[in-house]
Amino acid sequence: MLMSHYLVVAGILFSIGMFGVLLRRNTLVMLMCLELMLNAVNLLFVAFSRYNLNLDGNLFVFFAITVAAAEVAVGLAIVVALFKRKDTVQVDAFTEMKN
């Protein structure tokens, strides 16, 4: 397939992820849409790596997946700690620093 097709797929996936982060108020769903964005970027890396016949792009996907794993672990630990304090995961509830 043409290179542009892969770019369009990755671009739409990234936009969907951003749309989800802006729209949803549930912290867990926001984290999942963040992972969607990271996934779209991984797809872009692999597509460009194949286009330029360069393995370095694939190797960077390896590091991106590892960083995503670490980030998800810490993010979910934070969400659980917040849930223990406030008994909800809606982002609107965490406004203690307002005013």
Partner 1 sequence: MQDFLFYFLSALTLISGLMVPVSKNPVNGAMYMILCLIGTAGLFALLGSYFMAALQVLVYAGAIMVLFIFIIMLINAPAETKRKRDIPSLIAAAIAFLMLTVGFVMMAMSPELNQPMPALEDAETLAAEGAIPFDGSAKSYGFGLYGKYMLPIQVMGFLLLAAMVGVIHLSKDLHARSQAMLKVKENASE
Minimal CA–CA distance to 51: which of 8, 14, 1?
1
**Cβ 59 to partner 1, closest distance in Å?**
5
**Cβ 34 to partner 1, closest distance in Å?**
11
Q: Which is nearer to partner 1, 16 or 98 (CB)?
A: 16
**Cβ 99 to partner 1, closest distance in Å?**
21
86 lines the binding site for partner 1 (CB under 8 A): no
DSSP letter, residue 90: B
Q: What is the largest CA-CA distance in the chain?
A: 54
Minimal CA–CA distance to 18: which of 42, 38, 2?
38
Residues 9-38 that bind partner 1 (CB under 8 A): 9-26, 28-29, 31-33, 35-36
